[in-house]
Amino acid sequence: MSRSVLVVGGGGREHALCRALSQSESISDVHITPGNAGTANYATNHPISASDIDGLVSLSQTLCVDFVIVGPEAPLCDSLADLLLEHGIPCFGPQAIHAELEGSKLFAKEAMRRANVPTADYMVLDSSSDIESALASYSNNPWVIKRDVLAGGKGVVVTTNAQEAMEFITDSIHTDGHVLLESFLPGEEASMLVVMDASEFVCLPPSQDHKRVWDGDKGLNTGGMGAYCPAPVVTEEIHRKVLERIVKPMHESLSGMDVPYRGVLYVGLMIDEHGDPFVVEFNVRFGDPECQVTLPLIASDVGELLFAAATDSLDTYSIAFHDKHCLTVVLASEGYPQSAKKGRIILGAELNCDADDAWVSHAGTGTDDSSRLISTGGRVLATTAIASSLAEARVRSYQRMETISLQGSHHRNDIGHRAL
């Protein structure tokens, strides 16, 4: 059966989703809103903002789509899935009660505690707290401070500087009312995307992101400068531990609620020196850029997978993966991640230059009055490649990057360094 689908969002993650859906035999029509300059090659772009919840529901009805896939987290926290379901439209993306797993760090911590999922110790600080005493209690390691709001992946500070820690805590309490102070988890980070519904869950291959802006993991945190999949740090034994200690307990907890979780749960992991996994964070959507390196490794029908999860029929779906490796490198605008320069012409990123083993995912792109491709955001695009080895995927991705020109842009040159 061929289905039509609406993808909500306009970044690199949504480009990757549109590309995968366009290759799915179960999907006949792909729509996206608002999309970007690249998604127009795989889907029909629409001008509705991802924050216009009523507009998104209305568009879904007008297009008569069979289901909706929500890319970013904010519309989910704003009850988009709830409203779609009220109108009889299946949604890949959890309802608002579950979206709080990303919308509120405290909510996520309490959910982990109920399911006995391993995570860092923490305390909640507010205007009545003795901040100096709290910092002293966690002074043997860097301080980890998390705002309890959606912050676009930038609401976390890890620092050994007492003044910086004090200022961030004070500012967060003033802005948000409270803030979380966590114990530091040493180890190596990885992530796992888990597609789930009330009936079943499916673990996608583990991946590893590169958050810092410069080579060698230096500089400010970003939304992600590149990723690769699978991540060898997640060995078979560690994968088993993640499954038994984290994924199964969370799925059992979420599927046992009156409102089941339908969508993907992003499990941010820290793996310690003993090979034990801990949860750093949950997100309620595909990671970006993890999505770009995970979806191409799915050999079975991606559209069928996402529709199954949206309709509580995941237990009838059989997933298969390519025995390959995927790597993506993000190209960022000058000034990113602080103040990105926008509106500059991009050369060499035309999708007709892509191959089956190396391609461009657009994120912050658009067109000017002369129909020229221009930058519209901080993370502009990414070059992704797939190959039989990670080393070869890395070579192909960087070769594709070398063909692209954007004044003042920058990218990391060491994506995948931990595994090579």
Question: Where are the domains positioned within the chain?
Answer: 3-99, 121-182, 188-419
For helices 105-115 and 248-255, what crossing angle results, to 10°? 100
Q: Please name the residue that has the structure tokens 């190959």.
A: 387
**Max intra-chain CA distance, the chain:** 61
Closest C-alpha to 357, from 322, 404, 330:
322
Buried b (16+ CB within 10 A) or exposed e, 249-281: bbbebbbeeeebbbbbbbbbbbbeeeeebbbbb
Instruction: Identify the CATH number of the domain defined by range 121-182.
Output: 3.30.1490.20
For strand 67-70 and strand 91-92, is the pairing parallel, antiparallel, or unpaired? parallel
What is the sign, positive or negative, of the torsion defined by CA atoms of 302, 261, 68, 19? Answer: negative
Task: Work out the average pLDDT over 136-150.
Answer: 88
CB 349 within 8 A of CB 383: no
Q: Look up residue 415 and give its amino acid.
A: I
Query: In Å, what is the CA distance from 333 to each residue of 140, 353, 383, 416?
Result: 37, 21, 15, 21
Q: What is the pLDDT of residue 356?
A: 87
Instruction: Identify the CATH number of the domain defined by range 3-99.
Output: 3.40.50.20
Model-level pTM? 0.95
Q: Would you say residue 152 has pLDDT above 80?
A: no
Helices then strands, counting H and E runs in the chain, come out as 13, 24
Q: What is the pLDDT of residue 151?
A: 74
Average pLDDT taken over every residue of the chain = 95
CB 14 within 8 A of CB 1: no
Q: Topology of 188-419 in CATH?
A: D-amino Acid Aminotransferase; Chain A, domain 1 (3.30.470)
Determine how many CB atoms are found less than 10 A away from the CB of residue 160: 11
Evaluate the omega torsion of the peptide bond into residue 230 and state whether it is cis, within 30 degrees of 0: yes
Determine how many CB atoms are found less than 10 A away from the CB of residue 348: 14
Convert the pLDDT of each residue in 319-371 to its tens digit: 999 999 999 999 999 999 999 999 999 999 887 677 889 999 999 999 999 99
Query: In Å, what is the CA distance from 321 to each residue of 156, 244, 298, 303?
Result: 34, 21, 5, 14
Convert the pLDDT of each residue in 232-287 to its tens digit: 999 999 999 999 999 999 999 999 899 999 999 999 999 999 999 999 999 999 99
Q: What is the DSSP string of 55-83?
A: HHHHHHHHHT-SEEEE-SSHHHHTTHHHH
Task: Work out the average pLDDT over 105-110.
Answer: 94
Three-state SS across 131-173?
A: HHHHHHHCCCCCEEEEECCCCCCCCEEEECCHHHHHHHHHHHH
- Give the model's confidence band at 218: pLDDT under 50 very low, under 70 low, under 90 confident, else very high: very high
d(Cα 6, Cα 28) in Å, to the nearest integer? 11
